[in-house]
Amino acid sequence: MKYFSTRNKQKFFTFREAVLNGLAEDGGLFFPEFIPTFQKSFLKEIKNLSFREISFKTASLFIDNEIPQNKLKEIIESAIYFDAPIVNLSNELNVLELFHGPTLAFKDFGAQFMARIMEYFVHQTTRELIILVATSGDTGSAVANGFYGVEGIKVFILYPSGKVSTIQEKQLTTLDKNVTALEIEGTFDDCQRLVKQAFMDEDLKVKLNLSSANSINIARLIPQTFYYINSVKYFLDKKIIISVPSGNLGNITAGLIAKKMGMPIYKFIAATNSNSVFTEYLNTGIFSPRRSVLTYSNAMDVGNPSNLERIQHLYNFNVEQMRNEISSFSFSDEKTLEAINEIYHKFNYIIDPHGAVGYLALNKYFETSKINGIGIVAETAHYSKFIDVVEKAINQKIEIHEKLKEVLAKEKKSVKLDNNFDSLKNFLLTKN
């Protein structure tokens, strides 16, 4: 399996090159030369396969022989040590819980897998790897946890000052050793722009061995297909509709790849908040990026989603083809609060703001399409990471998760920078 840049299909790279470079030289995202498909027998045996077995079979198709099979099995065993269970709330509604990892967010799947993949590749060289990652909330803590203490790798996390929850900030600013949190004066889009500029800067490319841990890195995307493929085995005889809270579009891109691999998923729904550029793109065919606005579902506060380039390649830039397999709806903070309250009182289940937007979008799809099927909402983070919003919605106190209690007691450590690229560049050059 080779990989190309979404901006140049003529030049190919190995999986190792794609992972360690993170972003292509031309600013494009790495993408597989073709989407591998499972043999027909796979769907017959999938019910009897464990999550780890499904993960290994999936990863093998994208990595080929660049990592020996026995080593890849070790990586899977080490990275996929937590589950992605499905909770049934009603005949039509199920929740795919993706928050059972170390930082209670779906990003743990990608971060744990990628850290071990990169560790394997870095040990084959003598040059230190510098990881840059922009985060609107959960990515930073997941990456920090995944790479914490890994020899030969330094991690710098860029996050927007004052625009992540208190708990999220504590999770990404309370580690030391090889992890540094950079508090950027601006939005997530500023953080993402700075990371992309760093990869394009000739001076930094010569002096530093840079890579990314955002969903722009293909090693973050591949493990996110695992849980979509695993979820299918419970509903093989049903029409499956999956609603995915969507910001930078990495999570839904992974789901769409799983569908293209042969998974019988009828429809994906991109659920957005007030940052609805993707919803508008699907509706109009015109992509109009803009500055993001702050919402209760802050991990989705993205005004220029990177992974749109991958989705466009999946569908040959044909928006009509996209509409056949993807629907998208956006919702306000007010509706988000109402949804959290409704789910709590109707199903005795507490959902986080991102999952609430996914729930709203799923309901909207069923209402407008008149399709009968099994709905799955991707619940991307544990509700107690957004305790203020959830308590406001249900009007009562809730118990915070033990893992979060531990991190709240720790001291915040961050370096404040403005959103000027020269500030980031000078910092990186003086620290490495």
Q: Which residues are catalytic?
A: 107
Residue 156 pairs in a beta bridge with 132, 180
**What is the C-alpha separation between 312 and 372, in angstroms, rounded?**
28
Contact present, 1 and 63 (Cβ < 8 Å)? yes
- The Cα–Cα gap between 101 and 396 comes to 26
Strand-pair partners of 23? 29
Distances (CA, A) of 426 to 143, 203, 267, 420, 432: 23, 11, 46, 10, 10
Q: Which residues lie closer than 8 Å to 415 by C-beta, 6 or more apart?
A: 180, 181, 182, 183, 427
Burial class of residue 206, CB neighbours in 10 A (0-12, 13-18, 19+): exposed
Distance CA 410, CA 172 (A): 11
Between CA 196 and CA 22 the distance in angstroms is 10
What value, to the nearest 5°, has the Cα angle with vertex 300 and ends 254 and 114?
Answer: 40
CA atoms of 12 and 162, how far apart (whole Å): 40
Q: How far apart are CA 178 and CA 150, in angstroms?
A: 8
Return phi, psi of residue 122, to 5°: -65, -35
CA distances from 308 to 37, 49, 324, 331, 410 (A): 22, 32, 16, 20, 37
First-residue to last-residue Cα distance in the chain: 33
Structural contact between residues 188 and 297, judged by C-beta atoms closer than 8 angstroms: no
